[in-house]
Amino acid sequence: MADFAIVNDGGALKPTGTKKSLYVNSNWAHVFKAMRDAGMTLSLNGPDGLRALAGLELTVRQIPQPKREGLEEKNAKGYDKKFYTCLKIIALPGEAKKGAKKGAGTSAAPKANAAAPAATATAAVKAATNGNSASSDVLKHIQDILKDSAGSITIADLKKSVFRALKADGKPSNECQSGAQSITGDFLIDQSMEHDLGWEVNGDTLTQS
């Protein structure tokens, strides 16, 4: 930030010295590259600057930031520093969402009843597992274990708890081991981001947001 000033009410950056562009290894540079790889063709060099992104809809994922010589890799809480990158462009500004019906009305949606959150979570688990009963059991047990653990548990303890839960279901040992070993930080992040399960991974701990 020593090389740039924020101008236009946050809409653009202005060089304060001889440097004219972001470092190619900066978090923002990685984000922009991921967005371009996902199909974004917008230019941020015009008069609108970052406001050219207004209305952009995309899927993001939190990942560890690149290791950089001379910079601390951990945050104040001891966790790896992370940033959000782009996985998928859903709709560009002014573009209709894929699958949206042209000319669809804008009437308010009916109020959900009290059972809606549970139904949504169940549907997300089914979608996440594509009908695989073993994976579905693992995700259901993770939800139950998180609830019993006040919404936070280490991944190592989660593996053990899922193994025991699968054993209690009468699953064979090899299936219990496979289910427990499938639980990694990346697996949990993928499921949460792709299916809106409300999980966050911080270092070696899973929490329910």
The reply to whether 97 falls in a domain is no
Query: Which residues constitute the domain of residue 31?
Result: 4-91
CB 65 within 8 A of CB 83: yes
**Same domain, yes or no: 133 and 193:** yes
CA 194 distance to own-chain centroid: 7
User: Is 59's pLDDT higher than 60?
Assistant: yes
The reply to whether 13 falls in a domain is yes
CB 139 within 8 A of CB 183: no
Q: Which pLDDT does position 98 carry in this prediction?
A: 59
**Same domain, yes or no: 17 and 78:** yes
pTM of the predicted protein model:
0.42
The reply to whether 155 falls in a domain is yes
Rounded Cα gap, residues 67 and 137, in angstroms: 36
Which has more pLDDT, 36 or 132?
36
Over residues 4-34, the pLDDT tens digits come to: 888 877 777 788 888 777 777 888 888 888 8
The reply to whether 109 falls in a domain is no
Please, where are the H alpha helices in 59-196? 116-129, 133-148, 155-168, 173-181, 185-195
Over residues 116-150, the pLDDT tens digits come to: 443 444 444 444 444 444 467 888 889 889 888 88
Q: Which pLDDT does position 99 carry in this prediction?
A: 52
**Same domain, yes or no: 75 and 129:** no
The reply to whether 158 falls in a domain is yes
Number of structural domains, the chain? 2
Rounded Cα gap, residues 103 and 121, in angstroms: 30
**Residue 13's CB: how many other CB atoms inside 10 A?**
19
Q: Which pLDDT does position 157 carry in this prediction?
A: 92
**Same domain, yes or no: 42 and 123:** no
Rounded Cα gap, residues 101 and 91, in angstroms: 14
Q: Last residue of a domain, which of 91, 107, 134?
A: 91
Q: Which pLDDT does position 110 carry in this prediction?
A: 40
The reply to whether 10 falls in a domain is yes
Return the H-helix or E-strand segment holding 19: none
The reply to whether 183 falls in a domain is yes
The reply to whether 79 falls in a domain is yes
Over residues 149-174, the pLDDT tens digits come to: 888 999 999 999 999 988 888 888 88
